[in-house]
Amino acid sequence: MSYATQSLTNRTALEELSVKTLPGVGEQVATRLARIGIATVFDLLLHLPIRYQDRTRAHCIADLRVGQEVVVEGTIMSVAFSHGKRRSLKVTLCDDSGGLLILRFFHFSSAQIHQFTRGNQLRCYGEARQGPYDLEMIHPECDFYPQFDPITTATTLTPVYPSTAGITQLIWRHLTKQALAVLISADDLLPEFIPPEQLTKLSLPTLVEAFCLLHYPPATIDIDALIKRHHPAFQRIVLEELLAKQLALQQLRTCRNHFSATALIGNGHLRKQLRAGLGFTLTAAQERVINELTCDLVQTQPMMRLLQGDVGSGKTIVAVLAALQAIEAGYQAALMAPTELLAEQHLSHLRRWLNPLGLQPISLSSRHKGAERRHILTRIRNENTAIIVGTHALFQEAVQFAALGLVIIDEQHRFGVQQRLLLRAKGEAHGRIPHQLIMTATPIPRSLAMVAYADLELSVIDELPTGRQPITTVAVPDQRRAEVIERVRAACAQGRQAYWVCTLIEESDVLQCQAAEVTAANLIGQLPELRIGFIHGRMKAIEREPVMSAFIAGELDLLVATTVIEVGVDVANASLIIIENPERLGLAQLHQLRGRVGRGHAASFCLLLYRPPLTAAAAERLNILRQECSGFQIADADLRLRGAGEVLGTRQAGMTIWRLVDPLRDAPLVPAARLLADWIIERHQELINPLMRRWLNQEEVHHFLTVA
């Protein structure tokens, strides 16, 4: 297996070679490239054409259609000036096919005029458009016999690249040609990591072949497959990226296997008591997931499970049952929420459920200060069996757990791998780490979950508690605001409660809150008979709490809020939600907001109060929301509309920033990537780090290389 191992010693691999080493690339071009994330020659190679021009052969003028971009060759029939509004030069070209084509120029020098002489032969490249009489090309690129420019006598298709200000297509072509020349000049610059027999088996080209082909394909290629990115050359590259990511995640798994966890074997008495007092029966899906968790927790191998369940599917109770298993076994469980508001709500649920069992949940957040905080920290350090609720404050160094057996992270999409590991480190004692359960209502399509969270086991609650009514969603233009206000009045008159969500219309937090304040004041004026509360993101938890509690207790009819109520707030009597400016929000967030209603037995409504005109994309989003109520369907649609990066919230999560992979499109390649990963781990460990270094970003590489 010398194909790759021989070159691992070479330090200046292509992925470390600066673009500045290429001839003709100065500071200015390098700076412009850096702006779009291209620093190395490898980055440049990954910058793939969006389409191709066929300049390899001349097209018959007679067959020319509007919109075609082609080369034509012919004889100049006539040359004329027009002196209309804009001075222009009109050249008529014909070829043996008998067709006529007008070439039109608005800028031209006298030297150019001389070249356009009747009877001269001309080759030009441009896009055919419909003129007043004949097809025309505006400012085509021209070449005159007898010397043709090699660009127009190309033997391969000509790439057209996505661009940035200050870099023309000619510069791009120059750049990628130089990059390919470097690549071909020495075969150890970009070592091939996938062995030839594997490539043959998969009918894929080598990496070098793939890059050459994607940038300068032969004219005979299946262009459609290239552009839609189904071509084997493209798949070859994507496969390697998937492979690298797969290896990274397997490293994470392996490292997990180095640790053991405490088997949490409880006798079930607390769980039994809790179930008896619940007042509802768990759904079959909840029972299934509880069973999965129970089985995981009695193992000495740390659990690492992702629990997906749509908003309102009842994840909390499942988590609490798992926590009780830890407590029965004599250990602590920590439940971590992404916001203070959610942590508070969890706390109140926990109190309601656990106080009857004689348990006092401990809560820690950043608002606990001084003596109170010290007291809480002491309890966490000393109480062997306890359930602890908090925000990211639980990560802090000062927090020491007596015996952390289980960590539950709610709404995972706000936490990244980094934090996951951090909290795990918290419980790490004598080589033992706590079990981990991560919960999310952002339903990640399975295809995506497979590649993004390969280090986690997956559980899904795919069923809502019985008796829930589907939420009717309607889009209403802002002009009909008065009607919407009447709807609120009517709903509250019937004893129901409502939310009015003011979403980001101002850039800054401060302005947004001011805008929401104005809305709240107006509503108070317009609905004098209602009890109206107002909460926003800049309020301290201690100010927000009484308002929330009043709403939960039914002492407020209408809650006006900024998007702070987004995740998890749970008031069964609320059956109407108004979302202002929904066009500004993503699908996932809208679905989350909407999930605040439809939690009880009453028919619920969501009114999307938008400001026309809507962009096509916004209209599409609102449409999907009106038609779909399943979070999974919505996530799929979201993925189609926006691409994977944003759905996962990668910016926060600090992972899964794909260079070329599109998880939805490339999911069929995942099994092959997995097999390859297994094979490399078994037979070619030495390739793991180079592969990760080639494909992962700096932060990720650092993380995975040091963890390993």
Q: Site residues (CB under 6 A) for ligand ADP? A: 280, 282-283, 286, 309, 311-317, 441, 465, 568, 570, 599
Nearer to ligand ADP, 462 or 666 (CB): 462
Nearer to ligand ADP, 103 or 441 (CB): 441
Q: Which does 339 bind (CB under 5 to 8 A by kind): ligand ADP, Mg ion, none?
A: none
Instruction: Please report how close the Cβ of residue 421 comes to ligand ADP at its closest, in angstroms.
Output: 24
Instruction: Please report how close the Cβ of residue 246 comes to ligand ADP at its closest, in angstroms.
Output: 30
Q: Which does 81 bind (CB under 5 to 8 A by kind): ligand ADP, Mg ion, none?
A: none
Instruction: Please report how close the Cβ of residue 447 comes to Mg ion at its closest, in angstroms.
Output: 24
Instruction: Please report how close the Cβ of residue 288 comes to ligand ADP at its closest, in angstroms.
Output: 12
Residue 362 exposure: Cα atoms within 13 Å on the Cβ side: 26
Rounded CA Rg of the chain:
32
In order, the DSSP letters of 228-267 are: TT-SHHHHHHHHHHHHHHHHHHHHHHHHHHHSB-------
Q: Tell me the two tokens of residue 249.
A: 């995640």
Instruction: Please report how close the Cβ of residue 138 comes to ligand ADP at its closest, in angstroms.
Output: 58
Q: Which does 465 bind (CB under 5 to 8 A by kind): Mg ion, ligand ADP, none?
A: ligand ADP
Nearer to ligand ADP, 286 or 459 (CB): 286
Q: Tell me the two tokens of residue 595.
A: 């999930």
Q: Which does 365 bind (CB under 5 to 8 A by kind): Mg ion, ligand ADP, none?
A: none
Angle between the N-to-C axes of helices 541-552 and 340-354, in degrees from 0 to 180, rounded to the nearest 10: 50
Nearer to ligand ADP, 313 or 563 (CB): 313
- Asked if 568 interacts with Mg ion (CB under 5 A), we say yes
Q: Binding residues for Mg ion, how many (CB under 5 A)?
A: 1
Instruction: Please report how close the Cβ of residue 567 comes to Mg ion at its closest, in angstroms.
Output: 7
User: Could you give the CA distance from residue 349 to residue 341 in angstroms, rounded to a whole number?
Assistant: 13
3-state secondary structure at position 74: strand
Are the C-beta atoms of residues 402 and 270 closer than 8 Å to each other? Answer: no
Of 156-164, 472-480, 560-568, 652-660, which segment contacts Mg ion by CB under 5 A? Answer: 560-568
Residue 312 exposure: Cα atoms within 13 Å on the Cβ side: 26
Instruction: Please report how close the Cβ of residue 342 comes to Mg ion at its closest, in angstroms.
Output: 7
Nearer to ligand ADP, 392 or 599 (CB): 599
User: Could you give the CA distance from residue 641 to residue 664 in angstroms, rounded to a whole number?
Assistant: 11
What is the footprint of Mg ion within residues 325-344 (CB under 5 A)?
none
Q: Which does 309 bind (CB under 5 to 8 A by kind): Mg ion, ligand ADP, none?
A: ligand ADP
Tell me which residue has its CB nearest to ligand ADP.
314
Using alpha carbons, list the distances in angstroms from residue 434 to 172, 299, 302. Answer: 52, 11, 6
Are the C-beta atoms of residues 147 and 114 closer than 8 Å to each other? Answer: no
Q: Tell me the two tokens of residue 37.
A: 């994330």
Instruction: Please report how close the Cβ of residue 353 comes to ligand ADP at its closest, in angstroms.
Output: 9
User: Could you give the CA distance from residue 255 to residue 232 in angstroms, rounded to a whole number?
Assistant: 34
* Alpha helices by DSSP H, 361-497: 370-382, 417-426, 446-452, 481-493
Nearer to ligand ADP, 94 or 458 (CB): 458
Q: Which residue has the tokens 């793991």?
A: 688
Q: Tell me the two tokens of residue 464.
A: 């809502």
Nearer to ligand ADP, 319 or 647 (CB): 319
User: Could you give the CA distance from residue 558 to residue 551 in angstroms, rounded to a whole number?
Assistant: 8
Instruction: Please report how close the Cβ of residue 439 comes to Mg ion at its closest, in angstroms.
Output: 7
Q: Which residue has the tokens 């084509």?
A: 101
What is the footprint of Mg ion within residues 102-121 (CB under 5 A)?
none
User: Could you give the CA distance from residue 511 to residue 533 in angstroms, rounded to a whole number?
Assistant: 19
Q: Which does 194 bind (CB under 5 to 8 A by kind): ligand ADP, Mg ion, none?
A: none
- Asked if 445 interacts with Mg ion (CB under 5 A), we say no
User: Could you give the CA distance from residue 40 to residue 93 in angstroms, rounded to a whole number?
Assistant: 45
| Contact track, Mg ion, 209-248, x by CB under 5 A | ----------------------------------------
Q: Which does 312 bind (CB under 5 to 8 A by kind): Mg ion, ligand ADP, none?
A: ligand ADP
Instruction: Please report how close the Cβ of residue 468 comes to ligand ADP at its closest, in angstroms.
Output: 8
Nearer to Mg ion, 311 or 516 (CB): 311
Q: Which does 314 bind (CB under 5 to 8 A by kind): ligand ADP, Mg ion, none?
A: ligand ADP
User: Would you say the C-alpha torsion 628, 630, 635, 636 has a positive or negative sign?
Assistant: negative
User: Could you give the CA distance from residue 391 to residue 343 in angstroms, rounded to a whole number?
Assistant: 6
Instruction: Please report how close the Cβ of residue 568 comes to Mg ion at its closest, in angstroms.
Output: 4
Q: Which does 317 bind (CB under 5 to 8 A by kind): Mg ion, ligand ADP, none?
A: ligand ADP
Nearer to ligand ADP, 271 or 599 (CB): 599
Q: Which does 447 bind (CB under 5 to 8 A by kind): Mg ion, ligand ADP, none?
A: none
Map 130-190 to HEC letters: ECCCCEEEECCEEEECCCCCCCCCCCECEEECCCCCCCCHHHHHHHHHHHHHHHHHCCCCC
Nearer to ligand ADP, 594 or 599 (CB): 599
Nearer to Mg ion, 213 or 389 (CB): 389
Using alpha carbons, list the distances in angstroms from residue 374 to 347, 352, 369, 627. Answer: 19, 25, 8, 51
Nearer to ligand ADP, 426 or 599 (CB): 599
Instruction: Please report how close the Cβ of residue 279 comes to ligand ADP at its closest, in angstroms.
Output: 8
Instruction: Please report how close the Cβ of residue 318 comes to ligand ADP at its closest, in angstroms.
Output: 8
Q: In a 10 Å sphere around its CB, with 0-12 CB exposed, 13-18 middle and 19+ buried, how is residue 528 labelled?
A: exposed
Instruction: Please report how close the Cβ of residue 594 comes to ligand ADP at its closest, in angstroms.
Output: 12
Are the C-beta atoms of residues 383 and 332 closer than 8 Å to each other? Answer: yes
Nearer to ligand ADP, 201 or 601 (CB): 601
Residue-level length of the chain: 708
User: Could you give the CA distance from residue 436 to residue 574 in angstroms, rounded to a whole number?
Assistant: 33
Q: Which residues contact 573 (CB under 8 A, 6 or more apart)?
A: 495, 496, 497, 554, 600, 602
- Asked if 443 interacts with Mg ion (CB under 5 A), we say no
What is the footprint of Mg ion within residues 372-401 (CB under 5 A)?
none
Contacting positions for Mg ion (CB under 5 A): 568
